[in-house]
Amino acid sequence: MQQRQSLAAIGQRYTDIVWAAGLFEGEGYISTNTKTKTNHYWCIGIEMTDKDVLDRYANVIGSNLLRPRKTMKKLQKKQSWIVVTTKRSEVLRILKMFLPHFGKRRAAKAIEAINHLNEIIN
């Protein structure tokens, strides 16, 4: 019985990762900022108006970086929420977790970030 529950938990975790990767594929971004030749950082984030969806996403990736985004009253009627990850080891971990589920364009950007982060961290 306990083994079945463990397998069910593993299956649910995999399903959650695939769901989060799909959400990120459609709504997320991978960006870089080169301050200098040696100070280069990568950032991943996702922003949307559905707080419950981002709560679930943040839970799947192991983040609590959910915060409200400041709105420009005239341009935006609904409050949006954002989850941003900038810590190198976390960006690397999340991109590696999502990579098998990305399409070609997003995978290419993720591989670029992963390769660069591996150089920096190791």
Give the pLDDT confidence score for residue 118 in this predicted structure: 86
Residues 46-78: pLDDT tens digits? 998 899 999 999 999 998 766 676 665 656 677
Q: Where are the domains of the chain?
A: 2-121
The CATH class, in words, for 2-121 is alpha beta
Mean pLDDT of 78-97: 91
**What value, to the nearest 5°, has the Cα angle with vertex 69 and ends 29 and 28?**
15
pLDDT tens, residue by residue, 2-46:
566 665 667 788 999 999 999 999 999 999 876 655 566 889 999
Q: How far apart are CA 35 and CA 82, in angstroms?
A: 23
Please state the length of the chain. 122
Structure pTM? 0.82
Distance CA 56, CA 53 (A): 5
